[in-house]
Structure 1
Amino acid sequence: MKIGIFRALYLGDILCSIPAIRHLKYHYPDSCIYYIGLPHLRDFVMRFSFIDFYIDFPGCEGLPEQEVVESEVQRFIREGKEEEFDLLIQMHGNGTIVNDFLGQLEAKRLVGFSPETNLDPVDWFPYPESAHEVHRHFQLLKHIGIPAENFNEQLEYPIFVGECQDFEALKEVYGFSEYVVFHVGAKSELRRWPIQNFALLAKYLKKYNLKIVCTGTTAEYAHVKEFINLIGENCINLAGLTGYGSLGCIIRDAKLLVSNCTGVSHIAAALKTKSIIISLDGEPERWGPLNMDLHVTFNGLEPLSIESIFRRIDKFLQGS
């Protein structure tokens, strides 16, 4: 059985869909699962053992994630038809744009989310606006007939042996062992909590005598540097210096992650690292980590007491 999964989104979005994809493979162990996603995330997605193949998605009109080259789109459609998918699942979003587009691949069965309620109720599931992102995909699987037994909502983030060895070398070079991770960046500036507020948290943490390790992309290096300038010594800037494996190791071994609501918050959820997440997307109930014993999500769009975050820091670190 050849199954295609369409979800051409970013790292955090992918991690939130992993429990559903894993569950799908559990019930169809002999199937071949093809993930259709953004080209630059191929290496990340292929870390998951239950995903067999990856197909680069070239974009389509109306989706903001990448620039569209029409010749590449036509090649994608042509090659997608040749795959002859037995099942193609649209997990990208509510389907306003992509459902008709995916229909051009002529899968034997196309299913997924839909913004409408008048479509075939067997194949199309009205998009649940209020569900948590992890549960949303599980609801879709149940709707199309995948048994619910043994569903596990825990995220996962594979780390390989060689990456652990590289991480140990990185720690030796930069000289850190007991530390807290700060991730002050996010793709959109609108989802970045002011670094002055992050600096207040970092200064409060000094009483715990922990190093502060800053992560981020190369593009976020200057933003991270500005944050470090506010807090002074005892801080390490690793922005732009980590791959998927080393980033996972850094978060896995941290005493705590403090972050905007972005991909690293889901990595912490997958690796069961305690975290304090500041949500500026207006949907903390959708994107916040599910395990509230390990993770606390604060809605940064509402009045927020810095003392309440201090208390949560103390609860996490004094109990560790």
Structure 2
Amino acid sequence: MKAKLILAFSLLILRFSVLFSQSITGYLLLSDGTPAEYATITLHQAPDSARVAGAYADENGYFSFGNLIPGRYFLRAAVLGEGQTDFEAFDYFSGTLQLGTLRMNASATTLGEVTITARKAFIEVQADKTVLNVENSPNSAGLSALELLRRAPGVTVDNNDNVSIKGKNGVRVFIDGREVRLDARSLAAQLKNMQAAEIATIDIVSNPSARYDAAGSAGIIHIHLRRNKTSGTNGNLGFELIQGITPKAGLNTQLNHRHGALSAFAAYSNHYGRWHNTQHFDREQSGLTFLQEAGSHSQSRWN
């Protein structure tokens, strides 16, 4: 009996060691051959482009993905100012797969003659946060706040516009020191309506300090707007229709008023419809195929 227990325990340890040794690693370079510091890298299934995992490169361009199952995958890398590169698909079987050094494609955008003046770097990595210096940056022209976050290092925006930092959901968003207390869909709508021309900087805090409560442990995004001394009232109104399994609709509006040193801001959003989310997983291991299906739905009504 004792020998059987020892054998079972040994097999369990072996199984866990094999599981945690399953990884994909590599180094990512920019088109000019320098390390792609803090680039956002995502791992996708080759057949349907479904996102499997996300990571970001360190200061040397190194990245890794762990706890993987055998399959055919491809990597997608994005760096603000460099664009996005999809790398050739590959097969992963087991153990640690080292992809070596990967280089991003050069951006197809060609600039004419420009005059360079002293400016802050677009991305600043500080001790406690990463700062995007959006103001006066040509890389951010014409983008919305959500599109800026989609290109920010360590930040991932999924197909449903949910924002996460280093794979952690429940990120808190602040605008000029005030927390935006909206549900995920309303927050995404507000960020889509906020243009880069309105933003000075964006702080990304992946490990919030003690001055934030426990609810912000997943990460903090703090958007600092440009100082606008122009008095007056402005706003926007948005309406969307979505057709999926069932039809859905959304309404959002923002109103800003400034008079001298006094400024006021108001926002309203609402959604109606039934949201469905279904996931199918086919896992193959040691000759066995495991089928798993998970589904959820939520209902929203006009308030």
- TM band (smaller chain): under 0.3
Relative to total residues, which structure has the larger helix share, 1 or 2? 1
Higher relative contact order (CA 8 A, sep 6+): 1
Q: Report the TM-score, using the length of structure 1 for normalisation.
A: 0.20
* TM value normalised by structure 2: 0.21
Larger of the two Rg values belongs to structure? 2
